[in-house]
């Protein structure tokens, strides 16, 4: 990694347009971006992208953003990886709290649920909110021990 944190993006076909909008948003913010696909509208399997992003995050290479139709499948698949704390967020308050209290490292979004303007706001909050630590660090350690 260079001096900037890397952000890994992945989506299935249902999340393609929203993922592309968020990739553009991340680049406009000057973030280091790796788009792991999908890159066209052909039907795909969301676990393929969730696992690829989660592997990178679990390896400590950066944080991730996953988008499918609802965000549910992506979050389930990503959370199968030790050290990954994927959070499905549908509004900015949840994004803020999952960063503050859970040190979430993967943001999951549902393209059929959350429009692009709101998704960009959620993404910005997720990126900009630091982990609070303190008593929450003990709790995150307990999550990762299981």
13 catalytic per annotation: no
Catalytic hit among 13, 39, 51, 68: 68
Q: Using alpha carbons only, what angle is made at residue 74 by residues 70 and 79, rounded to the nearest 5 degrees? A: 135
Catalytic hit among 51, 81, 89, 101: 101
Written as one string, the DSSP assignment of 113-140 is TS-HHHHHHHHHHHHHPPP--THHHHHH
Q: How far is CA 29 from CA 7, 46, 51, 63, in A?
A: 12, 26, 26, 15
- Among residues 63, 145, 74, the alpha carbon closest in space to that of 113 is found at 74
> 78 with 136: CB under 8 angstroms?
no
89 catalytic per annotation: no
What is the CB neighbour count within 10 angstroms for residue 84? 24
**Catalytic residue numbers?**
68, 101
């Amino acid at each position: 990694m260079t001096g900037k944190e890397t952000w890994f993006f992945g989506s299935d076909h249902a999340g393609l347009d929203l993922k592309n909008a968020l990739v553009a948003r991340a680049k406009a913010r000057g973030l280091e971006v790796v788009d792991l696909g999908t890159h066209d509208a052909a039907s795909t399997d969301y676990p393929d992208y969730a696992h690829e992003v989660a592997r990178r995050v679990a390896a400590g290479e950066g944080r991730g953003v996953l988008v499918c139709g609802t965000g549910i499948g992506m979050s389930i698949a990503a959370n199968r990886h030790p050290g990954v704390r994927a959070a499905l967020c549908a509004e900015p308050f949840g994004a803020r709290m999952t960063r503050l209290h859970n040190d979430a490292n993967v943001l999951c979004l549902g393209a059929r649920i959350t429009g692009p303007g709101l998704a960009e706001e959620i993404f910005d909050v997720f990126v900009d909110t630091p982990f609070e630590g303190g008593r929450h660090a003990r709790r995150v350690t307990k999550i990762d021990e299981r």
